[in-house]
């Protein structure tokens, strides 16, 4: 059992501005733990979490892989989240490197097909598109959930760019809910972009049916 990262340094005041670890966070931790052997076997050198929020997931990945074996980059559009991520890294002795930006922003050029482990627990709740746009522009806690049509508008941008980001053997872990239409995401990633996928875990939590999907490049036929 790898313990859940310590977030006792974060207060209720922090969680007024930053997404507090919840069921979606915990299923992602459980999926990373279930995949620990696979992750270690990859000897990843560059990990990136998009939307790191409290930093709980990146700190957990650091506990799975070890604090010195890999560079732990993360991004969030919410400056308060980046600060919490930095502190959570310190609290759990994993050097986390948060950057305030949208998606992979300023890393895109230098990390072309170089990210070994990519993680995203996105704003996946279906909302009006306008609510999603406002939330993205607001850079505050609303950006943690508002996902626009089918809850997919932010996730979609990452899926489209995945081929540019992920290294040859890289793994991408994505949290999704039933409303996002998981079978269609997986089919499209396979047919249009050449990524195979597995559902690492799924569970029902309250009203949500949560999934963690793992994507990797299909072995090219030789």
Which residues here bind other proteins, judged by CB under 8 A? 43, 45-46, 67-71, 73, 77, 79, 82-83, 86, 89, 95-102, 105-111, 114, 137, 139
Query: CB–CB of 159/185 below 8 Å?
Result: yes
In sequence order, the 6+-apart residues with CB closer than 8 A to the CB of 39 are 32, 61, 64, 65, 117, 171
Cα diameter, the chain:
55
Q: Is 115 in the site for ligand SAM (CB under 6 A)?
A: no
Q: State the minimum distance, in angstroms, from the CB of residue 176 to other proteins.
A: 26
**123: partner contacted, choices ligand SAM, other proteins, none (Cβ within 5-8 A by kind):** ligand SAM
Q: Is 21 in the site for ligand SAM (CB under 6 A)?
A: yes
**By the 8 A CB rule, do 123 and 147 touch?**
yes
SS3 64: helix
Residue among 19 and 211 whose Cβ is closer to other proteins: 19
Is the Cα dihedral 5, 106, 154, 100 positive or negative?
Answer: positive
Q: Which stretches of the chain bind ligand SAM, using CB under 6 A? A: 19, 21, 24-25, 28, 50-54, 56-57, 75-78, 81, 102-103, 121, 123, 136, 143-144, 154
């Amino acid at each position: 059992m790898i313990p859940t990262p310590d977030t006792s340094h974060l207060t209720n005041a922090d969680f007024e501005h930053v997404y507090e670890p919840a069921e979606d966070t915990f299923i992602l931790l459980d999926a990373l733990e279930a995949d620990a052997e696979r992750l270690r076997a990859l000897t990843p050198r560059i990990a990136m979490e998009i939307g790191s929020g409290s930093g709980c997931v990146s700190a957990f990945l650091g506990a799975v892989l070890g604090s010195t074996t890999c560079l732990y980059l993360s991004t969030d559009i919410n400056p308060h989240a980046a600060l919490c991520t930095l502190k959570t890294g310190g609290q759990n002795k994993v050097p986390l490197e948060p950057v305030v930006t949208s998606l992979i922003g300023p890393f895109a050029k230098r990390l072309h097909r170089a990210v070994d482990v990519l993680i995203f627990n996105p704003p996946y709740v279906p909302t009006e598109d306008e609510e999603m746009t406002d939330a993205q522009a607001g850079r505050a806690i609303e950006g943690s959930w508002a996902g626009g049509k089918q809850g997919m508008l932010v996730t979609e941008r990452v899926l489209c760019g995945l081929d540019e980001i992920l290294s040859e053997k890289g793994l991408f872990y994505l949290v999704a809910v039933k409303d996002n239409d998981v079978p269609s995401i997986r089919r499209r990633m396979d047919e249009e972009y050449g990524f195979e996928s597995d559902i690492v875990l799924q569970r029902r939590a309250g009203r949500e049916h949560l999934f963690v999907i793992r994507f990797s490049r299909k072995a090219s036929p030789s």
